[in-house]
Amino acid sequence: MCIRTRRTGATVTVTSHLDAPLSAVPATIPVRSGATVASFAELGVSAALASSLKKRSIHLPTDIQAATIPDSLAGRDVSGKAPTGSGKTIAFGVPMASRVGRGKPGQPRGLVLVPTRELATQVAGELAPLLALSQRRLATFFGGVGFGPQVKALREGVDVAVACPGRLQDLCRSGHLSLGAVDLVVVDEADRMADMGFLPELRRILEATAPDRQTLLFSATLDGSVDTIIRQYQRDPVRHEVAATDDDLRRMSHRFEAVESAERLATCANIVEQSSTSLVFVRTRHGADRLAKQLGRLGIETAAIHGDRSQRERERALSAFRSGKIRALVATDVASRGIHVDDVACVIHFDMPADATGYVHRSGRTARAGATGKVVTFVTRDQHPDVHKLVGALDLDAELVGISPAEKKGHPSSPSRRSPPGRRTSAGRRRW
């Protein structure tokens, strides 16, 4: 049996599932490449929901919304693959608002599972106005805050819970929450949940929900551990894949620069000073705190966000960044999920990402909603081969500054352009 999948912006590909049982093979409805959906009404969205979206300046559905909403409204299980910033929250928010029933105290009917606190807050903010139209009650459940307000919300009754797996399990074990009535589940950022080690909790949660539930899953990838979840916990799912378009990356300028450890702080400060807002990615929590303090000593208003910060500290940092009170936000990869800030001028990979997927996800925090942006990556001596691999894999038009040429027997040279080192200022920093 073959499944034919058309990805927006890409050629048609064929995936074979000859070794899979028929019940486990996902049916695939092609995403219409190049077709334009005139309105949400054409997708079967109610007039009230369409009007609510229009008031938020959401007039036309994105590719992932156009592909998945009709099947989700029809009650099908859906697996959706789409890049960051493609509108996945509305893609599952509209069906949730249209189909979710009323819960009872301690027994919600809808559940949205997300990997981080920031993403839970962001998703709840997107869903609240949609659910309000049908007078459905929503609450968030995550760690880093006290149990009191969350337990109170459950006692008063919640129709839709937006939750991180850890806190959800705690509430179930304490007897404050039962998932047996949940018949509509959304698993958002499934790939990140797998990366963060949440799969055992995810399995237990799904097994505790109603056996006849509808399950919607959205992820940047649908293979590996995510594919296992799809096969075990979705029934005859419709699979939709919307590929990242070249325009998503081409709206950004990409620069990879060899920077010695002793020069990274000064180089980072120079870039931040020349940008209105900068999001700086580091590998560790300790590294985030250290860099934020170092930039602060240089007179640059900076905050750090990572898993060791309390929820109040994280929300305060995001609020200050959104309002422009601070110039730079230093974040780890885990904490970056849920950072949705418009008009980020520059993304700096202070520590180079582990792979191309990480690069795309981090970099996608700039050049959002049709805007342009700048992405700068610091490269150590031993990472030069990785740069060529990444640039080639993503077909980036990038500046390589001080990067050794690709070896003949290594990865082929990418279609990148080389740039001379930046002009030095009187202070010894490069002018960008």
CA distance 58 to 367: 18
pLDDT of residue 388: 93
pLDDT of residue 338: 60
Domain regions of the chain by residue span: 2-241, 246-431
Rounded to 10 deg, the angle between the 117-132 and 311-323 helix axes is 70
DSSP string, 341-400: -TT--EEEESS--SSHHHHHHHHTTSS-TT--EEEEEEE-GGGHHHHHHHHHHHT--EEE
Specify the DSSP class assigned to residue 151: H
Cα-only R_g, the chain:
22
Q: Name the 3-class secondary structure at 302.
A: strand
Tell whether the torsion through CA atoms of 413, 417, 421 and 425 is positive or negative. Answer: negative
CA distance 102 to 190: 26
Is the domain covering 2-241 a CATH 3.40.50.300 domain?
yes
CA atoms within 13 A on the CB side of 70: 15
- The token pair at 49 is 């929901």
2-241 and 246-431 have identical folds: yes
Give me the amino acid identity at 189.
E
pLDDT of residue 32: 37
At residue 365's C-alpha, the angle toward residues 5 and 246, to 5°, is 40
* Domain spanning 246-431: CATH superfamily: P-loop containing nucleotide triphosphate hydrolases (3.40.50.300)
pLDDT of residue 48: 96
CA distance 332 to 399: 25
The strand pairing partners of 376, in sequence order, are: 255, 348
Residue 337's alpha-carbon distances to 24, 45, 120, 232, 422, in angstroms, are 30, 28, 9, 26, 32
- The token pair at 260 is 């010695």
Query: Which strand ranges, in their side-by-side order, compose the sheet holding 184-187?
Result: 27-28, 238-241, 78-81, 214-219, 184-187, 110-113, 160-163, 138-141
Per-residue pLDDT of the chain (432 residues), as tens digits, is: 233 233 343 322 223 232 333 233 333 333 333 345 669 999 999 999 999 999 999 999 999 999 999 999 999 999 999 877 788 999 999 999 999 999 999 999 999 999 988 889 989 999 999 999 999 999 999 998 899 999 999 999 999 999 999 999 999 999 999 999 999 999 999 988 887 889 999 999 999 999 999 999 999 888 889 999 999 999 999 999 987 655 667 889 999 999 999 999 999 999 999 998 999 999 999 999 999 999 999 999 999 998 788 878 888 898 899 889 999 999 998 656 667 777 889 999 999 998 887 888 888 888 776 678 999 999 998 999 999 999 998 889 999 999 988 765 444 444 445 444 444 333 344 444
**pTM listed for this prediction:** 0.70
Residues with Cβ within 8 Å of residue 394, at least 6 apart in sequence = 249, 356, 359, 360
Other Cβ atoms within 10 Å of 420 Cβ, number: 8
Cα-Cα-Cα-Cα torsion 252, 62, 320, 332, nearest 10 degrees, comes to -60
The strand pairing partners of 328, in sequence order, are: 278, 302
